[in-house]
Amino acid sequence: MTEIWLVRHGETPWNAERRVQGWEDIDLNQTGIDQALALGRHIKKLGQAGQPLDAIYTSDLKRAHATAQTVATEVNLPLNIHQGVRERHFGVLQGLVYDEMDAHAPEAAAVWRSRDPNAELPGGESLGFFHNRVVSAIDEIAARHLGQRVMVVSHGGAMDIIWRHANQVSLQVPRQAPLLNASLNRLKVSPQGWSVIRWGDVDHLADGTQNDVTP
């Protein structure tokens, strides 16, 4: 069994604007930087209290990498890059504000809303392909770290996939889990299955600086 501490990156300007990021490489805003710093201090305290991390993995996109680097600096661990935990590629929807998707890309917006696992977003990934990519990445990381505790810094869409897989919830069911910036979400991962220990923990963000928006 491997304990995975899953983290969504800190807030970005596009999160605040409700703009589709996907593979667009957007930096953290000041709120996101502050969230990452608070998370890093929290993880350091947990380590000192007997829950140290053995490794840190991150998506290669800047918003995740910067969040992970802040934590890694606090706990003196190297970063491991894993592109498998990147956000979904949203194709022609990337860069659009959610409320404007129908006006600018109606066919792609309809595919996105349908949650059809086999329907490909123009220029992007199908939901089913994205699911398989993320689940395979988490299984691979867990297999490398049996009996250990590992942090994975990723994205809202990937977090949704992971929550669904752990809870055996269909891709076609409307979203149920909170996907909060800089939240700490704990899982048990083994060849026998995944289970959620705790989800959506933002107690370390005392001022409530987190954003629950679609990735």
Both tokens of residue 20? 């589709």
Radius of gyration of the chain (CA): 16
Within-domain flag for 207: no
Question: What pLDDT was estimated at residue 210?
Answer: 60
Question: What pLDDT was estimated at residue 206?
Answer: 74
Range of the domain at 86: 2-201
Helices (H), the chain: 13-17, 30-48, 62-75, 101-104, 106-114, 127-144, 156-167
Mean pLDDT in consecutive groups of 10 residues from the start of the chain, 215 residues: 98 97 98 97 97 98 98 98 98 96 95 95 97 98 98 98 98 95 97 96 78 60
Is 65 designated active site? Answer: no
Q: Structurally, how many domains does the chain consist of?
A: 1
Within-domain flag for 210: no
Within-domain flag for 41: yes
* Among 3, 11, 74, 87, the one annotated catalytic: 87
Question: What pLDDT was estimated at residue 215?
Answer: 60
pLDDT tens by residue, 87-128:
999 999 999 999 999 999 999 999 999 999 999 999 999 999
Q: What is the separation, in whole angstroms, between the first and last Cα of the chain?
A: 29
In CATH, what number is assigned to the domain containing residue 80? 3.40.50.1240
How far is Cα 182 from Cα 179, in angstroms, rounded to an integer? 9
Within-domain flag for 209: no
Within-domain flag for 127: yes
* Among 3, 9, 11, 89, the one annotated catalytic: 9
Is 9 designated active site? Answer: yes
Within-domain flag for 213: no
What count of residues does the chain have?
Answer: 215
Both tokens of residue 73? 């600096």
Both tokens of residue 89? 């590629």
